[in-house]
Structure 1
Amino acid sequence: MTSRLDEQADKEARDLARMNAARDETKAQRRKTAKAAASSKVTAKVHARFEVIEGEGIEHAGVYHIGTGRNGDGDEVELPPQWICSPMHVAAYTRDVQGNEWGRLLAFHDPDGSAHHVAVPMALLAGTGEDLRALLLSHGLRIATDKGPRSRLIEYIAQAKPDKKARCVTRTGWHGNAFVLPAETFGDAAGEEIILQSARADGVALTQTGTLADWRTRVAMPCAGNSRLVLALSAAFAAPCLGMMNAEGGGIHFRGGSSSGKTTALLAAASVYGPATFMRTWRATDNALESVAALHSDMLLPLDEIGQLEPRAAGGAAYMLANGTGKTRSHRDGSARAAARFRVLFLSAGEIGLADLVREGGGKVRAGHEVRVMDIPAEPAGGTLGIFERVPEGVTPGQFAEQIKRATAEQHGHAFAEWLRYLTGNADAARAALRTKADELLKQLVLADAAGQVRRVAQRFALIGAAGELATDQGLTGWKSGEAELAAYVCFRSWLKARGTEGDAEPASMLAQVRQFIEAHGDARFPPADRTDDHRPNVPNRAGWRKDSEATGRVYLVLPETFRNEVCKGFDHLAVARALREAGVLKCEEKGFTRSERIPAEGSKLRVYVVMGRKLLGDGDEDECGDSVDTASFFADQSEENHD
């Protein structure tokens, strides 16, 4: 009995042990399975990422963001892809020669299938990125409209790690032996790609339509025989030569009446580069003009309607464009930013001149204005055809202008590209040819001892003429040899005649100001010096006295303080006195510029400036600086050869 009970107990103990062992094995297996599952989850962990999906037949190609989230079991999984923009690749890092101004080169196609390579500064990624999106949208990139996916665009650009690097520049034109344009670089880039990196969205209108041969036939050749049109086209070819010749920038301004053909000349010059939209207007702020100039560096900058320029800003704008330096600005921390630098030759037109605008704004016209901006009468002397000297037989000036405008709309852009290929591919030969031609023309324009200001202007005309001749030698214009040189000569003589003197401008301006003061206040503020009676006039704002004699005519005795503060306002009074003395207008003692003169009306002697009125007021005739060549016969011969 006891034996059976013991056996039963042993059996139950064994069964319990087996159950516990099985349970322990199950727990171990579960732990092992859980560990394996956890390990599997770590191995298959998902990551947020960007992918570019593109290729033929793909309906919704583009840049996608694939985010992550957790499902109902708490597992991390991929979320549905979000479309960010049309296909775009971050092709390269960009930075300037100092290792600053970092950016990214973005490559994509617009809806027409045209390729775009846009260098964007990383500064555009700051903030909400609105300026960045505006820039890319203007180039044809399609971007998501929903705020969430749209905001991922900045992240996509910032996280990219391209393999290539490129050198960025912030202005067009010459950089070493390479000529950089917004969409293309000509010449040797020294082993590293050079690209234009700008935050501006509008860019430069450099497009091509038609053919070079048709542009030459329909635009350039019909301009032959018209000095202003030929000069404008020659200036378009001269602009890229400034850097090659280490020449200073500057401008040409055609001043004349409305509908005289000035805009036609600007459109013809602009067609060397692109369509009519290549031409700008003066209606812009200083900052805007500075940005435009940086995008036209080493290129022509056509600016129409100078009358739209704010008069108070006129002088400063001219200096800024000609000197090639923008304003110095500061960073937020107060440190100075590098000022924008550029080199432009600008072509301007308007019914008034720069000097008129400066005076309208209450400023004083300086000699530097006329040296930097060459003011040329739009209508040739004695002409009856507006800006033209000749038009085709049976065609009115208005019809001829319309023909030129229509031709520029249909044929443009090819000449500039071909010109750059020649300049970058033959830099040394081109530079030598330009120097030879310019030096020869300069000898015809001025004498070796010409005044410095006149010589500076003559050098610019000589370079323009030389560039036009070299472009003709390369088969770009279809003109006869000498056409561009003659146009430069004729326009230089017109500028010189309008200027009124072949010397420096300051002495002439000083004499003109003194003359204007005497003419305005002669009798009112200069009472007779010899009147001592009780009925002599009472002059409350007296500037001096006047004396009359048959030998010397009227003489003005100007009080020293009035001479310094009023007569010479805006000038150094000693420089004015020196100019008057050299012109024989100021009667001086052996030392100094004043004289001790007896004034009977005052009963004493006073020191005054003695201005010879007859000499001053009779010295206002303009110098005659007319043409010394028979341009009419030359133009007639030229038109026959160019328009057979």
Structure 2
Amino acid sequence: MISIKSDGLYTISKDGQEIKISGPITVKAIVSSPDKRDDFGFLIEWKNYFGISMREVLSMGEIDDYSARKFKKKLLSSGFQLSTRRNTWDLLLSYLIESPCAEHAYSARQSGWIGRQFVTPDWSIGKAQTPAVYIGDSAAANLIKSGTLSDWQQHVGRYCRGNPMMILAVCCALAAPLIEWTGIESFGIQIVGDSKSGKSTAMRVAASMYSDQSYWETWSSTANGIESIARARNHMLLCLDEFKQCPAQEMDRLIYHLCNGVSKLRSERDGSLGKRHRWRTIFLSTGELTLEELFLTINQKVSAGQAVRFIEIPTFGAFDVFDNIHEFSSAKEFAEHLGAGTNKYYGTLAKAWVETLARLDCPEDKVITEYRSIRQEWPWSNDIGSQANNVLDKLALLAAAGEIGTNHGLLPWHLGDAKDALKRVATIWLDDRNSNENVESKRIATKLLKLINKWRHCIVPKDQNVDGAIGTFEIDQKLIWCIPQKIFRSAVIESSSREFRQAINYMWKKGWLITNEGDRRTFKIGNERFVKFFPAQICQDCGDSVDLSHFYNQPNHLINNKYPIIPTSQSENQEC
């Protein structure tokens, strides 16, 4: 029989002597999944040698696994007092299993929202009839705090004003708990700049909203434990450093894996399929290389899907990451101040932010209304390329998070600061991208411009037969080229046959193509098919200055010349 005292648990020996078997420990609740069909366990609370209270869930499934040896090891590692007498652990384990308990709690295998509760490995916030308890992997660092929210606002937060890239980083941290309510997929922001440009300072400020610098992860470590880390940072900011240290092949996989938000299918020991875990997060990364530059090492291009999930923002401030260094004499001094501030004050804002959200009525409606309103205010219409629009929606969400945080007094900024800063970021992103078009469309346009430049001295007048000619031209208000389908198809296909169909469909949508075959998009003359298009219009619409003047000024210059003389300056285009 076990008796409970303030300093621990006791049992009675055969000779009637009272023997202490452990320090204080008790069952606080029965735990299960929200549907009450899985993840059963006991929420155990104990005190260590120094009287510090700790909690952990003892899974019922673990009890049959070598008598919960894993849980026993956790207890001992935490400083829990446990007698070494024979059968003591079995006796304590039986006591915990058989202790009556009327309280119930939901299990959470990842951080984030469960109803109106926000659960992390270290704390939970929100009111609910049934509390939730984190039982997932403790792969990520603990959430710890130092100082007060007011300290952080005074010594760190206020210095973000006037610095769009700092506001960008802070808004990433704020937006992570909101992403679940918007339907927006997980995504990352990569700040790209030279060494010592302030990138790490921006990440340090964002991380300080959740914890100290141990909150950071590295791309290289994430490659090995991506799923556990992502679950521990579900609905929270994930900070990833050392971008260039991750192999390009791994980065190709990691971006999709993180943003798709679902774990791999795995088999259990008995051959059955294991559970799949899901997460949604925003990750902040810094690097001296762009993804395109990293992929050059493996001769690979950045896919359209990666470009909208991994949003790269080049530093653009007067002092790289910084625009306004406030009262400091140099950017270096400013960065050092922020470094000292984040070393001293951290871990308070994220918790206060979640508390604020948990108190709001229908916070998801407020978030969606705010970010859509900001998106509508921005000067870019919704009918721009779908990929550009996707990224602008994400940046608008970040702006909305900043505006809501400011409105509730958590950020020492003025209303409008976040919205204006993210508008500048969006402008820079679009300028750096050099187009509102989708990535695939940009590639097609670039390819067409190269072909026009390459072919411009190999096109002969209509109805002329010249050896070595690629196609013919005519002028009917506009300059028109007519290229045999086989030649055009061969030129535009680099790796996949569908590239031809993508190219002519895009040309048709842009009004660059003449067709007499409907959905085929080709032009049939007799038994042959051609691609008939407006090269000068393509150059004009794409802002390129390919010289096509000879088609207008000397319309017959190739008629009797089998081997046209090509100027030395154009020798790179000689091979038609």
When the two structures are superposed, what TM-score results if normalisation uses the length of structure 1? 0.72
State the shift of 1:376 in Å.
1.1
Task: Tell me if the contact between 2:145 and 2:346 (Cα under 8 Å) persists in the aligned partners.
Answer: yes
Moved more, 322-331 or 469-478: 322-331
Amino acid at match of 2:500: H
> Which of 120, 129, 136 is the matching residue for 1:181?
120
**Secondary structure of the equivalent of 1:239?**
helix
Task: Tell me if the contact between 2:222 and 2:229 (Cα under 8 Å) persists in the aligned partners.
Answer: no
Render the CA deviation track for 1:459-501: whole Å, top value 9, x for unaligned.
2222211221121122211112211111111111111112221
Task: Determine whether 1:416 maps to 2:353.
Answer: no
What does residue 94 of structure 1 align with?
31
> Which of 334, 346, 350 is the matching residue for 2:287?
350
Task: Tell me if the contact between 1:556 and 1:613 (Cα under 8 Å) persists in the aligned partners.
Answer: no
> Which of 574, 577, 580 is the matching residue for 2:501?
574
> Which of 97, 102, 114 is the matching residue for 2:52?
114
> Which of 374, 383, 386 is the matching residue for 1:441?
374
How many Å separate the matches in 1 of 2:215 and 2:473? Answer: 63
Amino acid at match of 2:343: A
State the shift of 1:396 in Å.
1.8
How many Å separate the matches in 2 of 1:147 and 1:620? Answer: 82
Amino acid at match of 1:406: A
Task: Tell me if the contact between 2:374 and 2:396 (Cα under 8 Å) persists in the aligned partners.
Answer: yes
Within a 5 Å distance, the mapping from 1:338-487 to structure 2 comes to 338-358=275-295, 360-361=297-298, 363-377=300-314, 379-380=315-316, 383-428=317-362, 430-445=363-378, 446-487=380-421
Q: 1:317 to 1:137 in 2, by over 3 A?
A: farther
What does residue 250 of structure 2 align with?
313
How many Å separate the matches in 2 of 1:264 and 1:271? Answer: 10
State the shift of 1:257 in Å.
1.6
> Which of 142, 155, 165 is the matching residue for 1:228?
165
Task: Tell me if the contact between 2:210 and 2:347 (Cα under 8 Å) persists in the aligned partners.
Answer: yes
Q: 1:112 to 1:242 in 2, by over 3 A?
A: farther
Task: Determine whether 1:195 maps to 2:133.
Answer: yes
Amino acid at match of 2:220: R
**Secondary structure of the equivalent of 1:339?**
coil
When the two structures are superposed, what TM-score results if normalisation uses the length of structure 2? 0.79
How many Å separate the matches in 1 of 2:535 and 2:495? Answer: 16
How many Å separate the matches in 2 of 1:328 and 1:442? Answer: 37
Task: Tell me if the contact between 1:50 and 1:65 (Cα under 8 Å) persists in the aligned partners.
Answer: yes
Task: Determine whether 1:274 maps to 2:211.
Answer: yes
Task: Tell me if the contact between 1:302 and 1:348 (Cα under 8 Å) persists in the aligned partners.
Answer: yes
Q: 1:154 to 1:243 in 2, by over 3 A?
A: farther
Within a 5 Å distance, the mapping from 1:38-77 to structure 2 comes to 54-55=6-7
How many Å separate the matches in 2 of 1:189 and 1:286? Answer: 36
What does residue 542 of structure 1 align with?
none
**Secondary structure of the equivalent of 1:116?**
strand
Within a 5 Å distance, the mapping from 1:164-313 to structure 2 comes to 164-190=103-129, 192-198=130-136, 200-286=137-223, 288-313=225-250
How many Å separate the matches in 2 of 1:362 and 1:162? Answer: 63
Render the CA deviation track for 1:414-449: whole Å, top value 9, x for unaligned.
212222222111233x44543443233111223243
Render the CA deviation track for 1:347-395: whole Å, top value 9, x for unaligned.
2211223344455455543322222222111x11xx4412111213442
Amino acid at match of 2:347: G
State the shift of 1:407 in Å.
0.5
How many Å separate the matches in 2 of 1:253 and 1:423? Answer: 27
Moved more, 275-284 or 147-156: 147-156
Q: 1:500 to 1:123 in 2, by over 3 A?
A: farther
Larger radius of gyration: 1
State the shift of 1:284 in Å.
3.0
Amino acid at match of 1:193: P
Task: Tell me if the contact between 1:91 and 1:162 (Cα under 8 Å) persists in the aligned partners.
Answer: no
Q: 1:530 to 1:131 in 2, by over 3 A?
A: farther
How many Å separate the matches in 1 of 2:98 and 2:320? Answer: 59
Amino acid at match of 1:290: E
State the shift of 1:137 in Å.
5.2
Amino acid at match of 1:176: G
How many Å separate the matches in 2 of 1:326 and 1:287? Answer: 13
Amino acid at match of 2:166: L
Q: 1:403 to 1:488 in 2, by over 3 A?
A: same
State the shift of 1:233 in Å.
1.0
Amino acid at match of 2:360: N
State the shift of 1:504 in Å.
2.8
**Secondary structure of the equivalent of 1:302?**
strand
Amino acid at match of 1:439: R
Q: 1:514 to 1:317 in 2, by over 3 A?
A: farther
State the shift of 1:81 in Å.
5.6
State the shift of 1:195 in Å.
0.7
What does residue 103 of structure 1 align with?
41
How many Å separate the matches in 1 of 2:446 and 2:323? Answer: 33
How many Å separate the matches in 2 of 1:306 and 1:130? Answer: 38
Aligned residues: 531
Q: 1:160 to 1:392 in 2, by over 3 A?
A: same
State the shift of 1:337 in Å.
2.9
How many Å separate the matches in 2 of 1:147 and 1:356? Answer: 62
In structure 1, runs of 5+ residues without a counterpart are: 1-48, 56-61, 69-76, 537-544, 599-604, 623-644
Q: 1:514 to 1:306 in 2, by over 3 A?
A: farther
**Secondary structure of the equivalent of 1:253?**
strand
Q: 1:493 to 1:143 in 2, by over 3 A?
A: farther
State the shift of 1:502 in Å.
1.5
Amino acid at match of 1:132: F
How many Å separate the matches in 2 of 1:597 and 1:277? Answer: 69
How many Å separate the matches in 1 of 2:487 and 2:155? Answer: 64
How many Å separate the matches in 2 of 1:283 and 1:419? Answer: 30
In structure 2, runs of 5+ residues without a counterpart are: 545-576
How many Å separate the matches in 2 of 1:50 and 1:576? Answer: 79
How many Å separate the matches in 2 of 1:66 and 1:530? Answer: 110
Task: Tell me if the contact between 1:554 and 1:614 (Cα under 8 Å) persists in the aligned partners.
Answer: no
Identity %: 26
Q: 1:133 to 1:615 in 2, by over 3 A?
A: farther
**Secondary structure of the equivalent of 1:385?**
coil
What does residue 509 of structure 1 align with?
443
**Secondary structure of the equivalent of 2:221?**
coil
* RMSD after superposition: 3.9
What does residue 490 of structure 1 align with?
424
Task: Tell me if the contact between 2:31 and 2:43 (Cα under 8 Å) persists in the aligned partners.
Answer: yes
Q: 1:247 to 1:141 in 2, by over 3 A?
A: farther
